[in-house]
A and B are shown apart, each in its own frame.
Chain A
Amino acid sequence: MMKRKHRVIISLIGFMGVIGLIFPALSYSGPEKVLQIGAIFPLSGRAATWGLAAQKAITIKQKEVNARGGLNVGGEKYKIEIIWEDDKYNAATGRMAAEKLVNRDKVKFILGSQSSAVLLAVQPITEPQKILFLLNSYAKEVLSPDKPYSFRMVLTSNEILQGMYPWAAKTYPTLKTVAFIEPNDASGWSIEKDCQRIAEQNKFQMVFSQFYERGTSDFYPLLNKLLAQKPDFIDFTGAAPGDQALIVKQVRELGYKGKTFAGTTIDPIQFCKIAGLANSEGHISNTHDLLGAYTTDGQRKYHDDYIAIYGKPFDPVTPKYHVYLDILLQAIEKAGSLDPVKVKETMEKTENWETIFGASKFGGKEHYGIKHQIITPVYVSELVGGKLVNRGTMMPTLP
């Protein structure tokens, strides 16, 4: 005689087993041809700013392609469908998401993510199965010769600073010493190494480098020590946007008169609100004001598409994520096939891509061991009166 308790447990397990088997059968799409592409990004939690920005940019491209009938693959039209997964900036969650996308949804192409931990946990799934993985993150190890199906679609601090530091050396010849502040996490560590190396290459002297505990809002103790070294400028490329604004605010309160500098994209409105308008004056960042000068037609169109879909205000953090879907779809169209192996070969063979940033290409054979790092322009801007002013546009040289 089986106990009631055990019957319940067995029915529970059986029930879940049944659900697991019929779930795949439940996904049914219409008669038109659909290309499903997976996307793993932080859509909630601390890093959601970037994940949601990526989602916006990718959606803009998706809508654009679907509006003109879909993607042309060897004569057939495919509607683009993106399956969004939230990795919560957590490796285990990201891995589960990849499991689902690869094993359940059977996608062949995945866009994602920000966190190097997520990517390093996901690559053991995507690489052996030859899933084309277009990714981000600052960690160097994410690209390597033994990961032939991973391509990085956004500039890392390595490339950005290779553009910005020479510019700084040329524009401000009196600046000699630099101080670094980075958060105590994976990207902070990785960025700090790049900062040190590139600063040195450009003949700057590092006089201070320290990491701060994530969650810190009061930087006075750290800045106190930093200011005692009298740096000519401060670089906090790895800090979160809110933290950057706070650092700028507090360092100005403490009387600092040098330059503040970060190789990341900022939202000028938010930044000035938190830091204070006067304090933000002169801050250098890698942000492109799409309404300013040096704008391409592609960028203007992107800006208009953005406003049409999402309304004002425009989010300047989003444009760099546009290349994810843009280049992938161009590669598929060029290859004339949905086979990731062929698409990968096309991506490697093509020397020039036309993106909203103008001509872009892949590089990095020497630095990463494999030529899979995108190279797009770096836009150096300065905050003047709360507005972004472009001070220079350059293509990083990445051997």
Chain B
Amino acid sequence: MDFAFFVQVFINGLMLGLTYVLIASGFSLIYGIMRLLNFAHGEFYMLGAFATYLLSEHLGLDYFTALILSMIIIAGLGMLVYRFFFRPFRDQHDPSLVIALGIAMLIGGLALLIFGEKDKSVSPVVSGVIQILGATLSVERMVVIFSAILLMTALTLFIKFSKTGQAMRAVAQDREAAALQGIGVDSTFMLCMGISSALAGAAGALLAPLFFVNPFLGMHAVLKALVVVVIGGLGSIPGAIAGGLLLGFVESFGTTFLGDITEMMGFVMVMLVLLFRPQGLFGHG
């Protein structure tokens, strides 16, 4: 095992981690602001991939246009789902969980009916590999890494500095107080769903050319998202970033050095976090 090997493991962890961050950040945002565990989040990720597939492979659009359009479409879809399915149960904890599960099942089932179970692929836009300190990284993955960092930066800046972002944080902290201050809670929720779904869709779109697209991506994605945000702290974007990277590194090192026991790692980490620091690394309890 030489230095190049370790660099490779590190880069693998970074890549894996950033994909988790992309998927989990929207999930965390929804929980933080709306106090909802949106199990349908993974399905938006899957639909983002499918939207990109349809737009680029069937309509012939170039990849980047397809990416942006997919984000917009999925954002719209997310807002529709909120308006008609989530809003009526906004203040009820157990029912909103069940509805989210129901929507996840519905979207997953419909996608299977419409698209079929075969794996589809999106043609890669870039090709080739580069070498970094002896480790290999495909150019495709570099693009994803940069896009992920870009999106996360944009998100963090938005939440921190924009007026809407501040409104969102106010609602997250204390819904009633925010309402008293004249902040539209409902419109904030709507916007939150839109942004979060757009992020999920972007994740799906970015990863589609790297891997493949099928209707089953959603379940796996949302489970990972759950693990990430619990570790990082439900409702915290820095937490989602930290949690995602941590899970990525743990899984990368684990798979390489420990073998298939790594499958349990994520859940063990969840248990440990919930036992000793339930609010997660960055959460507020």
Q: Which residues of A contact B (CB under 8 A)?
A: 44-46, 48-49, 52, 184, 210-213, 215, 217-218, 220-222, 224-225, 228, 241-242, 245-246, 253-255, 270, 273-274, 276
Given contacts A215-B220, A246-B212, contact A225 B117 (CB under 8 A): no
Q: Is the CB of A210 within 8 A of B260?
A: yes
Q: Is the CB of B118 within 8 A of A49?
A: yes
A276 proximity list for chain B (CB < 8 A): 124, 127
Given contacts A217-B210, A217-B212, A225-B255, contact A270 B136 (CB under 8 A): no
B173 proximity list for chain A (CB < 8 A): none
Q: Which residue of B lies closest to A228 (CB)?
A: B5
Most buried by A among B1, B8, B13, B212: B212
User: Count of B residues near A, CB < 8 Å?
Assistant: 39
Q: Is the CB of B260 within 8 A of A213?
A: yes
Within the assembled complex, what's the spacing in Å between the Cα atoms of A210 and B124?
28
Q: Which of B119, B121, B136, B216 contacts A253 (CB 8 A)?
A: B136
Ordered by A's residue number, 16 sampled pairs between the chains whose C-beta atoms are within 8 Å are A210-B255, A210-B259, A211-B260, A212-B260, A213-B262, A215-B216, A217-B210, A221-B255, A224-B9, A224-B12, A228-B1, A254-B136, A273-B121, A274-B119, A274-B121, A276-B124
Q: Which residues of B contact A (CB under 8 A)?
A: 1, 5, 8-9, 12-13, 15-16, 19, 112, 117-119, 121, 123-124, 127, 129, 136, 138, 207, 210-212, 214, 216, 219-220, 251-257, 259-260, 262-263
Q: Is the CB of B119 within 8 A of A270?
A: yes
Distance in Å: Cβ of B35 to nearest Cβ of chain A: 28
Q: Which residue of A lies closest to B1 (CB)?
A: A228
A49 proximity list for chain B (CB < 8 A): 117-118
Q: Which of A184, A218, A224, A246 contacts B5 (CB 8 A)?
A: A224
Q: Is the CB of A274 within 8 A of B136?
A: no
Q: Is the CB of B263 within 8 A of A213?
A: yes
Within the assembled complex, what's the spacing in Å between the Cα atoms of A218 and B251?
11
Given contacts A49-B118, A212-B260, contact A220 B220 (CB under 8 A): no
Q: Is the CB of B256 within 8 A of A218?
A: no
Q: Which of A246, A253, A273 contacts B129 (CB 8 A)?
A: A253
A274 proximity list for chain B (CB < 8 A): 119, 121, 211-212
Given contacts A46-B216, A210-B260, A246-B212, contact A218 B117 (CB under 8 A): no
A48 proximity list for chain B (CB < 8 A): 117
Most buried by A among B8, B124, B254, B257: B8
Q: Is the CB of A270 within 8 A of B118?
A: yes
Q: Is the CB of B112 within 8 A of A44?
A: yes
Within the assembled complex, what's the spacing in Å between the Cα atoms of A274 and B210?
8
Q: Which residue of A lies closest to B266 (CB)?
A: A213
Q: Which residue of A lies closest to B136 (CB)?
A: A254
Distance in Å: Cβ of B162 to nearest Cβ of chain A: 33
Q: Which of B16, B117, B121 contacts A221 (CB 8 A)?
A: B16
A270 proximity list for chain B (CB < 8 A): 118-119, 121
Within the assembled complex, what's the spacing in Å between the Cα atoms of A211 and B203?
26
Q: Which of B9, B119, B210, B257 contacts A242 (CB 8 A)?
A: B119
Q: Is the CB of A255 within 8 A of B136?
A: yes
Given contacts A44-B117, A228-B1, contact A222 B256 (CB under 8 A): yes
Within the assembled complex, what's the spacing in Å between the Cα atoms of A371 and B8?
50
Within the assembled complex, what's the spacing in Å between the Cα atoms of A213 and B267?
13
Please list the 10 inter-chain residue pairs (A to B) with the smallest Cβ-Cβ separation, ordered nearest first: A242-B119, A215-B220, A217-B211, A221-B255, A48-B117, A221-B252, A211-B260, A220-B12, A274-B121, A225-B256
